[in-house]
């Protein structure tokens, strides 16, 4: 493991995992709404990685993790945003994607 430019430990190998090989991805959230729109940390990493996800035969289940107080109904998705399928909060499970 080595530290990246953000101080986060990550593997040193360069093995790439295709989005189609991932069953579920847990995403930390800054904010969310019940339609599956989300605010992250502004880097767009998940959006770029899963951009083609919804078009796959077996798309990755995109799950957000947040506290209930992070819900904000004023959040609006941008054209490049990839929405969540499900959100787990400390009080409930919110089903928001087409899979449910």
* Residue 48 appears among annotated catalytic residues: no
Catalytic pick among 23, 34, 38, 72: 38
* Residue 81 appears among annotated catalytic residues: yes
* Residue 38 appears among annotated catalytic residues: yes
Largest CA distance in the chain: 40
CA atoms within 13 A on the CB side of 17: 9
Catalytic pick among 21, 73, 81, 85: 81
Asked if 87 contacts 29 with a C-beta cutoff of 8 angstroms, the reply is: yes
Catalytic pick among 23, 34, 37, 47: 47
Mind telling me the catalytic residues? 38, 47, 81
């Amino acid at each position: 493991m080595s530290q990246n430019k953000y101080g986060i430990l990550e593997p040193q190998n360069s093995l790439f995992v295709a989005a189609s090989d991932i069953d579920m991805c847990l995403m930390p959230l800054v904010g969310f709404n019940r339609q599956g729109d989300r605010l992250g940390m502004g880097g767009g990493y998940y959006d770029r990685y899963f951009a083609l996800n919804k078009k796959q035969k077996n798309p990755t289940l995109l799950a957000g993790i947040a506290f209930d107080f992070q819900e904000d109904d004023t959040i609006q998705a941008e054209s490049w945003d990839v929405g969540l399928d499900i959100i787990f909060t400390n009080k409930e499970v919110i089903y928001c994607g087409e899979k449910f």
